[in-house]
Amino acid sequence: MTKLLGQVAKFGIVGVVSTVLDFLILYILADFIGLHYLTAAALAFVAATLFNYAASMRYVFTSRFGEAEKRQELLLFVTLSVIGLGLNQVLMWLFVDQVALHYLVAKIAATVFVMAWNFISRKIWLEDKNAG
């Protein structure tokens, strides 16, 4: 139980940094460059996800894949992240276009759901159950 709490705390720290990066890129792309909020959200999500992969696999999760299988691990991480991106995009559209929230407020709500998906899916499919 203590290992899980420590892991959740580390995941939270990596998540906060990833989220700040995600929001910052979204804001710059939407407000300064003028991209549509959904395009900006997708690009920001991808950048933050790449950072999150590197940080999560180094500091949070013990990989169940050996060095020779790192491509497989990355492919699985990307697949799980694409599902997260789809969830993010649907929720952003729902909250902005249907509920009429500002895109940054919508992003906060979407982030809560996507963060839960990310932790649970990575815990199930990426972590070595026998580590630690």
The pLDDT of residue 60: 83
The pLDDT of residue 8: 83
**HSE-up of residue 102 (Cα within 13 Å, Cβ side):** 7
The pLDDT of residue 11: 84
Indicate the Cα dihedral angle 38, 116, 122, 1, nearest 10°. Answer: 160
Residue pLDDT tens, the chain, 132 long: 688 888 888 988 998 999 999 999 999 999 999 999 999 999 998 999 889 888 988 888 777 777 778 788 888 888 998 899 999 999 999 999 999 999 999 999 999 999 889 888 988 887 777 765
Query: How many whole angstroms separate alpha carbon 109 and alpha carbon 116?
Result: 12
Asked whether residue 131 is domain-assigned, the answer is no
The pLDDT of residue 102: 96
For the chain, the domain total comes to: 1
Asked whether residue 90 is domain-assigned, the answer is yes
Asked whether residue 54 is domain-assigned, the answer is yes
> What totals of helices (H) and strands (E) does the chain contain, helices first?
4, 0
Residue 98: CB atoms within 10 A of its CB come to 9
Burial (CB count <10 Å: 0-12, 13-18, 19+), residue 100? exposed
Q: Which domain holds residue 62?
A: 2-125
Asked whether residue 98 is domain-assigned, the answer is yes
